[in-house]
A and B are shown apart, each in its own frame.
Chain A
Amino acid sequence: MIEIKNLKAKIDGKEILQGINLQVNAGEVHAIMGPNGSGKSTLANVIAGHEKYEATSGTVTFNEKDLLSMATEDRAREGLFLGFQYPVEIPGVSNAIFLQTAINEIRKYNNLPELTPKDFLDKMKEKAKIVGMDSSLISRSVNTGFSGGEKKKNEIFQLLMLEPKLAILDETDSGLDIDALRVVSNGVNEFKNKNNAVILVTHYQRLLDYIVPDFIHVLYNGKIIKSGGKELALELEEKGYDWITKGEA
């Protein structure tokens, strides 16, 4: 699905990623963990195409295509989705219009006909139910006046609506109470199937109780310094990061 080779990237002239290697195949869930400032969000943003981040070397291949040379919107149209750590408010633009525009742009790019308004509405109702969003929230402006939890649920709602091939969820679990965490995790589990893939970027092992990863990677100082199966999360929970990071600085 995606293959990252020796990726280096900087922001404001400062090198954050120091050579990332990562391969994610269809049907897999990967978790990327690591302390604050290790480069987790940078990795997510570079892949999604934030202009502030500059990839200085390495390659990212997404479905056999060179991702780094693609415009941000084309990456999304190719099937990439980023769940934002801090979703942006867009007053005056309703969730429905926003998503309808997004879905139809993606469909157009992939030579598919636009969704009819009815099909779109039906889909919206079905997906909203999964994340427990009521219709008033859908007709409201994108994220405007939403609580932190509502914003994160809305990210998962968008994920379910857009049905990308690869979802990168950047700290979608941060700041959520246990009920919201369950809803969000349930949404991700609904999304997941053998043809798509998920990368979870998180601080907390707690999320992995609900979404079970196939692989866990520890990111530190812009490099993946350890990879393992789901049991690695438990080890991290118990011992922290020090036992791995020692000698890495």
Chain B
Amino acid sequence: MSVEVKKIDAIEHYTLSAEKVIANNKNKFISQLQSESKSKLSSVKFPTLKTEEWKYTNLKSLLGSEFIHSAELEEFKITSEDVEKVKSINFENYLLVFVNGVLKKELSDFQELQNKILISTIPESIANNKTIVEKHLSKIAVNKTAFDYLNLSNFVDGLFIQIPDNVVLEKPIQILNITGSMGKPTFVPTRNLFVVGKNSEATIVQKYVGKGEKYFNNISSEVFIDTNGTLNIYKIELENENSYHVDKTDVLQSRDSNFNHFNFSFGGKLVRNDINTELADENIECTLNGLYIANGKQHIDNSTFINHAKPHCTSNELYKGILDDKSRGVFSGKILVERDAQLTNAYQNNNTILLSDDATVDTKPQLEIYADDVKCTHGATVGQLDESAMFYILSRGIPRDKARAMLITAFAESVVTGVKIEALRNELNSLINENLNRD
């Protein structure tokens, strides 16, 4: 007896789903862009283990599964009670709720915000804000792969946020992305375009929560920060255990701007986060920090690229991983300092704790420096929990599991402490504990 296994050609499969999306799209500019992207998709291949930037992450199970575009499936129902359970609380914030990539206004709460800034779907934004969308949409993304074309050709609504010049948002914007599937494995292309104006400041909490069964969440975020603007992004990824999360965030920073990205990965079967930042002018600061906790057979891959193009910029990078069971972590951090970029400060660190003999990490710092007057450092450590610290805590009568949790908290502290919202720091500390004591 033989079982017939349907072989999926991922490129063909997603090109077909793009065709349906484009056929339903009434917006001329977007459908044009999507058609071009669809042709590109059909002419490229997905990365393989032979692709240098993807050599530690096997995409076979992702690309071999037949994920159906969420737009072709029955709507995945989320109630306001569901939202209450998963949103971040205990701090004032504006709330945007997306379910399978589509904005749910009835579940959101951002009325007040609409007087201050522009929020809309990407197709809607064309009507009001054509110039700025045309200037940035799919223009900020660099190092494009099939995933970029996949996302652009398949996204439906997306999110456009523009903070006008000279607007400082006191309250953070919480973007709650709930992804879910029923019965059929679901493909959800999620797309964001954030534009921060001159002298403006905003904080975004991007939270990804998984519901239901198996799905593939493909995210593409493009970020433009104008002169002297500041953007903080706190991303918390809590996808469900059968699911795939492939996120690419591309950032373009202008003179005197400041970008702080915090990347917390807890969930998902396979997670790949790409963050590319271009420091395109002088006196820019960029911080990319991350913390990932994996157990079971989870695979979490963080890949960052910081391009120092101009002088007097500073980048700080700290990624920490805690890996248990048979999980696998990957960190790859590339820093390019161009010939023009004198007086660059670039600091990178990656520290990993392995809690089991079967957990593995691959860490690949990569510095390419073409300027001669720069300060660049990088370091990577891999180790176990500090034995003498463990002994110290045990010797006070504290049991081993609590001692372990304390040491993990201590290890994670240097990343968590950078989050400026106290309630979020508390939530993160409990998430760290929950995810370590998961079976």
Chain A contact residues, CB within 8 Å of chain B: 48-52, 71-73, 75-77, 81-82, 84, 86-93, 98-99, 101-102, 105-106, 109, 141, 158, 162
Tell me the bound Cα distance from A162 to B417 in angstroms: 29
Query: Is B412 touching A92 in the complex (CB atoms < 8 A)?
Result: yes
Could you list which residues of chain B lie within 8 angstroms of chain A, going by C-beta atoms?
386-389, 391-400, 402-403, 406-407, 409-410, 412-414, 416-417, 429
Most buried by B among A48, A52, A92, A98: A92
Establish whether residues A84 and B392, one from each chain, have CB atoms under 8 Å apart when the complex forms. Answer: yes
B395 touches A82 (CB 8 A): yes
Q: Are A73 and B407 in contact (CB under 8 A)?
A: no
Q: How far is the CA of A91 from the CA of B407 in the complex (A)?
A: 8
B304 → chain A closest CB, angstroms: 24
Shortest distance in angstroms between B275's beta carbon and chain A's nearest beta carbon? 25
Distance in angstroms from A82 CB to nearest chain B CB is 5
Q: Which residues of B contact A82 (CB under 8 A)?
A: 395
**Cα–Cα, bound, A92→B413 (Å):** 5
Report the bound CA distance from A51 to B429 in whole Å.
28
Are A90 and B389 interface neighbours, CB within 8 A?
Answer: yes
A-B contact pairs, 25 of them (CB 8 A): A49-B395, A50-B391, A51-B387, A52-B387, A73-B395, A73-B399, A76-B394, A76-B396, A77-B397, A81-B395, A84-B395, A89-B410, A90-B393, A90-B406, A90-B410, A91-B410, A91-B414, A92-B416, A98-B406, A101-B398, A102-B397, A105-B398, A109-B397, A162-B396, A162-B397
Task: Closest B residue to A99 by CB, please name it.
Answer: B396
B396 touches A98 (CB 8 A): yes
Report whether B407 and A49 are in contact in the complex, using a CB–CB cutoff of 8 Å: no
User: Please, how many angstroms separate the alpha-carbon atoms of A87 and B389 in the complex?
Assistant: 9
Whole-angstrom distance from the CB of B418 to the nearest CB of chain A? 12
Give the chain A neighbours of B413 by CB distance below 8 A.
91-92, 141
Instruction: Collect the chain A residues with CB atoms within 8 Å of residue B429's CB.
Output: 92
CA distance A158 to B393 in the complex (A): 12
Q: Which residues of A contact B395 (CB under 8 A)?
A: 48-49, 72-73, 75-76, 81-82, 84
User: Given that A93-B406, A98-B406 are contacting pairs, would A73 and B391 also be in contact in the complex, using a CB cutoff of 8 Å?
Assistant: no
A87 contact from B392, B399, B409, Cβ within 8 A: B392
- Closest approach, in angstroms, between the C-beta of A88 and any C-beta of chain B? 4
Give the distance in Å from the alpha carbon of A72 to the alpha carbon of B395 in the complex.
6
CA distance A99 to B403 in the complex (A): 12
The 5 closest A-B pairs by CB, nearest first: A92-B413, A76-B397, A72-B394, A102-B396, A88-B392
Distance A43 CA – B169 CA, assembled complex (angstroms): 60
Residues on B with beta carbons closer than 8 Å to the beta carbon of A89: 410
**How close is B174's CB to chain A, nearest CB, in angstroms?**
24
The complex places the Cα of A105 from the Cα of B399 at a distance, in Å, of 8
What residues of chain B lie closer than 8 Å to A77, measured between beta carbons? Answer: 397
| Known interface pairs A76-B397, A162-B397; A92-B391 also in contact (CB < 8 Å) | no
Residues of B within 8 A of A84 (CB): 392, 395
User: Do residues B410 and A101 form an inter-chain contact, with CB atoms below 8 A?
Assistant: no
Besides the known contacts A73-B400, A158-B396, 20 further A-B residue pairs in the complex with CB atoms under 8 A apart: A49-B394, A50-B391, A51-B387, A73-B394, A73-B399, A84-B395, A90-B392, A91-B410, A91-B413, A92-B417, A98-B393, A99-B396, A101-B402, A102-B396, A102-B398, A105-B398, A105-B399, A109-B397, A141-B410, A162-B396
Residue of A nearest to B388 (CB): A88
Q: Which of B394, B400, B402 has the most CB of A within 10 A?
A: B394
Min C-beta distance of A161 to chain B, whole Å = 10
| Residues in chain A near residue B392, CB distance under 8 A | 84, 87-88, 90
Closest B residue to A97 using CB positions: B406
Q: A51-B391, A101-B402 are in contact. Are A92 and B397 (CB under 8 A)?
A: no
Residue of B nearest to A103 (CB): B397
| Minimum distance in angstroms from A47 CB to a CB of chain B | 10
| Nearest A residue to B417, CB-CB | A92
